[in-house]
Chains A and B, each alone.
Chain A
Amino acid sequence: VVEAIGAANEIVLGLGEWAVSGSAADVLVCVGLGSCVAFVAYDPQARIGGMAHMVLPDSSQGRASTVAPAKFVDEAIPLVLRGLQTAGAAPRRLALHLVGGARMLKSSGPAEPAMNIGDRNIVAARETLAHLGLPLASEDLGGERGRTVRLDVRTGTLSVRTAGTPSLSGSSAGGQ
């Protein structure tokens, strides 16, 4: 079998952005996640993937945004799941992943509301998924370093690069 090898089409999600793709050439990416958390979902049979770059835990503690519809964890996860379903993914086949939520500020630093925002994002993401009765396939959360996460839509391969490390650690998001 000869497959057409084209340059991967990277779809880089800014803060509060989300995307769903069933195109084999696409790679969904969140670059330089600090306290932000990426929600990743992949249907290995339909080969459809979704990702959100989530910034804040709770939509009740802020103002809704038109430019960043996925900024709140509690809204972003349902948004991506609905998008995947519309695109033809089956909810029961989805492999779900969470990446990010680092603690960027140490206790000695500025005391301000954004402190421990990474922890709060992680808690909110786990609670939202638990509420929906959806288990996680994998997670790479917390710590004190930034991360870049990529989802290859063709293969379902999820890769995470942590700040200060040169190489990529890959795993299959589809679990096939």
Chain B
Amino acid sequence: VSDSVYGPWAELVTLGTRRAMSGLSQMLGAEISVVDLELRRVPVTEISNAFGGPETEAVGIYLTVSGSADGHMMLMYDPQIALAFVDLLMGQPANTTTSLTDMGRSALGEMGNLISAFFLSAIADATGLSLHPSPPEVMTDMAGALLDVVSADILATQDEAFIAETTFTAEGADVTGLFMVMPTEELLDTLVAATKAA
């Protein structure tokens, strides 16, 4: 990515992530800290190496972005940590949830709804674009299999993927999560053009 694209994209991601994490913090009633925010450009063939390798078991909360242009968003958790998040989301004592039920999946889906809505509204405010999240899909599988959903769409037209990865933790609970935003090249161009026009 050239600097002229990277700069505005980095600013938008930082803005969106800050808003999303503050929304999550309110939802959980717990302080959320961003441990790491990284923007990468990787060959699409290597997307599946995110989250500790393609065979690592993970819980993924997946949403697509549509409207002015398309993109993908995925929250990924270690399965044990997903259970801890369910407890946090449902206001239960730690270790109450021991397996992922429909109720737990629904709670994680709500978390995906909230994070994506806050992230996209921040970006919409900054660019004037109209961007909508899809309903969330909560999946448990090998990380590579989860990320196939994203890769298949991006690889149809691109050899490289732009990934914004946010690692966050909730204070007072031993949980970390990964929030990935993967715009298509089209969305990236649209965002940057809108930023310049704004």
State the A residues within 8 Å of B (CB): 14-17, 31-36, 55-56, 61-63, 65-68, 71, 102, 104-106, 108-114, 117, 145-148, 161, 163-164
Contact = CB atoms under 8 A, between A and B. Distances in A.
A34 B152 CA distance: 10
B67 interface: no
Chain A binding surface, main DSSP class:
loop
B165 to A, nearest CB: 18
A103 B175 CA distance: 29
B55 A55 contact: no
A14 B153 CA distance: 16
Contacts of B53: 31-32
Contact of A35 (B46, B57, B148): B148
Nearest to A111: B134
B186 to A, nearest CB: 13
A55 B150 CA distance: 11
Interface of B: 43-48, 53-55, 57, 62-64, 66, 70, 134-137, 139-153, 155-159
A146 B148 CA distance: 10
Contact of B148 (A33, A67, A110): A33
A55 B134 contact: no
Most chain A CB within 10 A, of B64, B148, B155, is at B148
B137 A15 contact: no
B117 to A, nearest CB: 14
A31 B55 CA distance: 6
B153 A114 contact: yes
Most chain B CB within 10 A, of A15, A55, A56, A148, is at A15
A117 B44 contact: no
Given A34-B147, A109-B136, A148-B55, A67 B141 contact: no
B182 to A, nearest CB: 12
B152 A65 contact: no
B144 A34 contact: yes
Contacts of A106: 137
A32 B43 contact: no
Contact of B151 (A55, A62, A67): A55
Contact of A15 (B139, B141, B151, B158): B151
Contacts of A68: 44-45, 155, 159
Given A55-B152, A67-B45, A146 B159 contact: no
Contacts of A71: 155
B135 A109 contact: yes
- State the 7 A-B residue pairs at the shortest beta-carbon distance, nearest first: A32-B144, A146-B145, A109-B137, A34-B145, A32-B54, A34-B148, A110-B134
